[in-house]
């Protein structure tokens, strides 16, 4: 699709929308046409159009902005360019965005940062250098114009893609200044704006990739088509850590299109000229595996082991006051045990990587949350130097934490190497491989105790947790037996600051099943636990759950979120029998979020979630439109896991393989999600503007809000997930 076609397409949308009532407030910028480049990745070398590595201006005044983070749906691909444009003072309608070059980042000493798109940090950790890049480019353009006019730079300013000298009325377009600007040496880099100075960032804008993602032209890793490309399908040993013993390939060698059967230590792959041919042949192979001792394990054993381990010994992870003795002396102690299973990421686009390995160069086409570290891994795998790796970043069909490790890339490289394949090779995990070779959300079990005073105050919390460790599973050290990811939501990162006695003890416990970051990470299970339990305590104390939470915190952000939720959800209004409203409040990945779920319990005990209200304090945001989208989607993502999500293990292998047995939430079951921001702005402890992330804070509150609503409607307490395993009609009321 040419730029011209896209432009007219966008203009058409605007006029059409206006004709039907003109509700597109954000789209009413005339000639609005900022977009992603058709080829998403930037060139690997500096070019003469550049002011600096982040900003290039075409002769026709098209402004190319480079985005260091991946775009996996979270919207940073639109948000970071908005921040750059805010500083640059360019004409947003002329902006085109590319992903910054990984190769250049390697050769030019991390000019684009770590290129790690995870932990809701797309904006929250990259704003300083992204803003600086824009400000520095602007200052150079201004300086270049000032030198041309022989006037002081301080008398010139940048406005909508031009430098203007107000006194004389002169102006020059950025395009006319770019060559000179690139040579400017500044005594000092300019200061960046503070959020209160923003004019553009913070406004509701359309996402740049909506057109390409609505007409099929957006290119994901799986869409790579290079000349002479071959396709591979692979199957890993079903038991993690197991080995391939042998495979008889005689049945498939002569099938049409098959070029290679490749044996790896722990996997077997078939290469063909069409993915379907490769995958059909793979299904015919009968590999012999050695799963070792792990082949005798199953979920029932794991579940018992996690529960049994609750009796200790645990490592103390948080200890305020003296929770143990307060509980021992209390007249009113509430105790509950909860547990949650392993979960798969199941990104909509199954993992894949396309590689072209030659003697002195490796090209990679894929969508990755961690392109830079993947490229470095590829260098190790191939023996090439990091600067010989050319990583072409594409759109990611979902990430959720899965696409950081490069497991699929490692497979592609190993197959190319072992098969001596020197043409482009696309290795695609079938859905079944993707489900069974994942690194899962850790399994965990927890025991919570709370002491209530006679007048219903929470005096102490005593938390015993047994949880899988992501750090250990990914080969990192856990000094003192503490892994921060396992503590999120029950240790330090909680929205409450007025619980006088708080103990959290934890045991890290892994099996042979690899575990990793799954959207909201520790909060995905711990916020369900704590927020369900806070609800139990509120009911035990005979207090309103919202008012009870208010008594536990006077943090500005938590209070703002609770107030906003109360207001938008109509909290406290009576509901008819069989319906209920539940609340939760969390801190996750640097933001505070709260949700209220409204549910209806049907006669057969089935739960229908009617609506979710979500209030979020991310302090400052770049694009409220995309923040809303993240929160809507996050709640639905979390609800899918709450209702259906469960990976089980049998004979050491994952049982589930596809969407028939790892179910997803579908449109008819999806609740309406009503979002609201409760931004309190402010500064962090270093005096810098505070920024939160919303990709995960939107996920963490949902399960508890729904479970608490179920309790409100039915008097039944959900203490294990997923809901599909629980027959509400058979569960005792509390």
Partner 1 sequence: MITLKVNGETHSLDIEKEMPLLWAIRTEIGLTGTKYGCGIAQCGACTVLVDGKAVRSCSLPVANAEGKEITTIEGLSHNGTLNKVQQAWIAEDVPQCGYCQSGQVMAATALLNRTPNPDESDIDAAMAGNICRCGTYVRIRRAIKRAAGKA
Other beta carbons less than 10 A from residue 270's beta carbon: 29
Q: Which of 378, 372, 370, 433 is nearest to 396 (CA)?
A: 370
Give the one entry of ligand FES, partner 1, none that residue 231 binds, where binding means its C-beta sits below a cut-off of 5 to 8 angstroms depending on kind: partner 1
Which residues from 165-224 bind partner 1, rule CB under 8 A? Answer: 206-207, 209-220, 222-223
User: In sequence order, what are the beta bridge partners of 342?
Assistant: 647
Q: Does position 419 bind ligand FES by CB under 6 A?
A: no
Three-state secondary-structure class, residue 296: helix
Other beta carbons less than 10 A from residue 572's beta carbon: 10
* 77 vs 660: CA distance, rounded Å: 32
CB within 8 Å of 383: residues ≥ 6 apart: none
Decide whether 454 or 668 has the Cβ nearer to partner 1: 668
Give the one entry of ligand FES, partner 1, none that residue 696 binds, where binding means its C-beta sits below a cut-off of 5 to 8 angstroms depending on kind: none
Give how many residues touch ligand FES by CB under 6 A: 3
Give the one entry of partner 1, ligand FES, none that residue 541 binds, where binding means its C-beta sits below a cut-off of 5 to 8 angstroms depending on kind: none
CB within 8 Å of 446: residues ≥ 6 apart: 310, 337, 338, 339, 463, 464, 465, 466, 467, 490, 526, 529
Decide whether 72 or 146 has the Cβ nearer to ligand FES: 72
Q: Which residue among 195, 291, 398, 671 contacts ligand FES (CB under 6 A)? A: 398
Q: Does position 73 bind ligand FES by CB under 6 A?
A: yes
* Shortest distance, position 23 Cβ to partner 1, whole Å: 7
Decide whether 556 or 670 has the Cβ nearer to ligand FES: 670
* Shortest distance, position 231 Cβ to ligand FES, whole Å: 16
Strands (E), 195-236: 230-236
Decide whether 17 or 336 has the Cβ nearer to partner 1: 17
Decide whether 113 or 633 has the Cβ nearer to ligand FES: 633
Which residues from 395-414 bind partner 1, rule CB under 8 A? Answer: 395-400
* Shortest distance, position 440 Cβ to ligand FES, whole Å: 19
* 74 vs 369: CA distance, rounded Å: 11
Question: To which H or E segment does residue 705 belong?
Answer: helix 702-714
Decide whether 659 or 683 has the Cβ nearer to partner 1: 659
Q: Which residue among 43, 251, 348, 606 contacts ligand FES (CB under 6 A)? A: 348
* Shortest distance, position 637 Cβ to ligand FES, whole Å: 10
Decide whether 507 or 640 has the Cβ nearer to partner 1: 640
Q: Which of 462, 508, 518, 464 is nearest to 482 (CA)?
A: 508
Decide whether 73 or 81 has the Cβ nearer to ligand FES: 73
Across the beta sheet with 591-601, the strand order is: 579-588, 591-601, 607-617, 672-677
Which residues from 269-308 bind partner 1, rule CB under 8 A? Answer: 274-276, 279
Listed ranges 81-89, 331-339, 463-471, 654-662: which one lies at the site for partner 1 (CB under 8 A): 654-662
* Shortest distance, position 717 Cβ to partner 1, whole Å: 26
Listed ranges 67-75, 239-247, 374-382, 409-417: which one lies at the site for partner 1 (CB under 8 A): 67-75
Give how many residues touch partner 1 by CB under 8 A: 77
Q: Which of 427, 287, 440, 452 is nearest to 357 (CA)?
A: 427
Q: What is the DSSP string of 666-687?
A: -GGGPPEEEEEE-----B-TTS
Three-state secondary-structure class, residue 566: helix
Give the one entry of partner 1, ligand FES, none that residue 722 binds, where binding means its C-beta sits below a cut-off of 5 to 8 angstroms depending on kind: none
Q: Which of 468, 4, 459, 432 is nearest to 234 (CA)?
A: 432
DSSP state of 430: -
Q: Does position 636 bind partner 1 by CB under 8 A?
A: yes
Question: To which H or E segment does residue 18 belong?
Answer: helix 3-19
Q: Does position 254 bind partner 1 by CB under 8 A?
A: no
Give the one entry of partner 1, ligand FES, none that residue 9 binds, where binding means its C-beta sits below a cut-off of 5 to 8 angstroms depending on kind: partner 1
* Shortest distance, position 670 Cβ to ligand FES, whole Å: 12
* 378 vs 383: CA distance, rounded Å: 8
* 299 vs 307: CA distance, rounded Å: 12
Decide whether 398 or 522 has the Cβ nearer to ligand FES: 398
* 290 vs 245: CA distance, rounded Å: 6
The answer to whether 286 touches 461, Cβ cutoff 8 Å, is: no
User: In sequence order, what are the beta bridge partners of 505?
Assistant: 316, 464
Q: Does position 399 bind ligand FES by CB under 6 A?
A: no
* Shortest distance, position 396 Cβ to ligand FES, whole Å: 9
Three-state secondary-structure class, residue 271: strand
Decide whether 73 or 450 has the Cβ nearer to ligand FES: 73
* Shortest distance, position 225 Cβ to partner 1, whole Å: 6
Q: Does position 672 bind partner 1 by CB under 8 A?
A: yes
* Shortest distance, position 428 Cβ to ligand FES, whole Å: 12
Strands (E), 573-625: 579-588, 591-601, 607-617
Burial class (CB in 10 A: 0-12, 13-18, 19+), 15: exposed
Q: By Cβ distance, which residue is nearest to ligand FES? A: 348
Applying CB under 6 A, which residues contact ligand FES? 73, 348, 398
């Amino acid at each position: 699709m040419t730029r011209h076609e896209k432009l007219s397409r966008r203009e058409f949308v605007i006029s059409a929308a206006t004709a039907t009532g003109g509700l597109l407030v954000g789209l009413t910028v005339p000639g609005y046409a900022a977009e992603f480049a058709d080829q998403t990745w930037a060139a690997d070398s500096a070019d003469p159009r550049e002011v600096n590595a982040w900003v290039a201006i075409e002769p026709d005044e098209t402004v190319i902005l480079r985005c260091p983070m991946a775009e996996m749906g979270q919207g940073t691909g639109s948000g970071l360019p908005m921040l750059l444009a805010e500083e640059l003072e360019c004409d947003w309608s002329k902006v085109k965005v590319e992903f910054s070059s990984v190769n250049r980042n390697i050769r030019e000493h991390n000019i684009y940062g770590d290129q790690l798109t995870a932990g809701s940090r797309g904006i929250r950790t990259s704003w300083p250098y992204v803003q600086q890049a824009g400000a520095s480019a602007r200052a150079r353009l201004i300086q270049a114009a000032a030198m041309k006019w022989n006037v002081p730079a301080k008398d010139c300013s940048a406005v909508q893609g031009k430098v203007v000298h107000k006194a004389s009325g002169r102006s020059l377009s950025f395009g006319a200044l770019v060559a000179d600007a690139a040579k400017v040496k500044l005594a000092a880099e300019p200061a960046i704006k503070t959020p209160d100075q923003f004019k553009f960032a913070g406004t509701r804008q359309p996402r740049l990739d909506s057109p390409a993602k609505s007409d099929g032209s957006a290119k994901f890793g799986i869409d790579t088509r290079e000349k002479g490309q071959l396709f591979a399908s692979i199957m890993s040993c079903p038991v993690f850590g197991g080995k391939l013993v042998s495979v008889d390939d005689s049945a498939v060698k002569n099938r049409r299109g098959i070029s290679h059967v490749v044996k790896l230590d722990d996997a077997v792959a078939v290469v063909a000229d069409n993915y379907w041919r490769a995958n059909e042949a793979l299904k015919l192979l009968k590999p012999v595996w050695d799963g070792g001792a792990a082949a005798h394990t199953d979920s029932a054993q794991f579940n018992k082991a996690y529960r049994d381990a609750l009796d200790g010994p645990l490592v103390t992870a948080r200890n305020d006051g003296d929770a143990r003795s307060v509980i021992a002396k209390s007249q009113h102690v509430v105790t509950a045990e909860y547990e949650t299973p392993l979960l798969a990421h199941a990104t909509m686009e199954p993992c894949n990587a396309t590689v072209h390995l030659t003697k002195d160069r490796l090209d990679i086409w894929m969508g990755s949350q961690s392109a830079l570290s993947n490229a470095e891994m590829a260098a190790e795998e191939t023996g090439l130097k990091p600067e010989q790796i050319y990583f072409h970043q594409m759109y990611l069909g979902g990430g959720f934490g899965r696409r950081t490790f490069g497991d699929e890339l490692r497979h592609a490289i190993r197959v190319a190497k072992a098969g001596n394949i020197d043409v482009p090779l696309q290795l695609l995990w079938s859905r079944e491989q993707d489900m069974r070779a994942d690194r899962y959300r850790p399994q965990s079990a927890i025991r919570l105790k709370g002491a209530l005073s006679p007048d219903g105050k929470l005096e102490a919390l005593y938390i015993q947790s047994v949880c899988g460790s992501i750090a250990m599973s990914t080969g990192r050290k856990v000094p003192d037996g503490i892994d921060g990811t396992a503590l999120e939501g029950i240790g330090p990162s909680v929205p409450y600051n007025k619980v006088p006695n708080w103990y959290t003890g934890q045991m890290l416990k892994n099996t042979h099943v690899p575990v990793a970051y799954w959207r909201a990470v520790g909060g995905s299970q711990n916020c369900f636990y704590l927020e369900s339990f806070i609800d139990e305590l509120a009911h035990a104390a005979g207090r309103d759950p919202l008012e009870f939470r208010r008594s536990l915190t006077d943090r500005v952000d938590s209070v703002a979120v609770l107030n906003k939720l109360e207001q938008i959800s109509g909290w406290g209004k009576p509901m008819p029998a069989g319906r209920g409203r539940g609340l939760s409040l969390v801190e996750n990945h640097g933001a505070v979020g709260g949700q209220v779920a409204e549910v209806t319990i049907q006669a057969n005990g089935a739960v229908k979630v009617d609506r979710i209200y979500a209030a979020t304090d991310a302090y400052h945001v770049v694009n409220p439109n995309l923040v809303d989208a993240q929160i809507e989607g996050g709640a639905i993502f979390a609800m899918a896991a709450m209702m259906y999500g469960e990976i089980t293990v049998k004979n050491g292998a994952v049982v589930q393989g596809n969407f028939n047995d790892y179910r997803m939430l579908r449109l008819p079951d999806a609740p309406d999600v009503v979002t609201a921001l409760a931004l309190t702005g402010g500064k962090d402890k270093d005096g810098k503007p505070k920024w939160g992330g919303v990709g995960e804070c939107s996920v963490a509150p949902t399960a508890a809000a729904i479970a608490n609503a179920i309790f409100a409607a039915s008097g039944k307490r959900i203490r294990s997930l997923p809901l599909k395993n629980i027959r509400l009609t058979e569960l005792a009321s509390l």
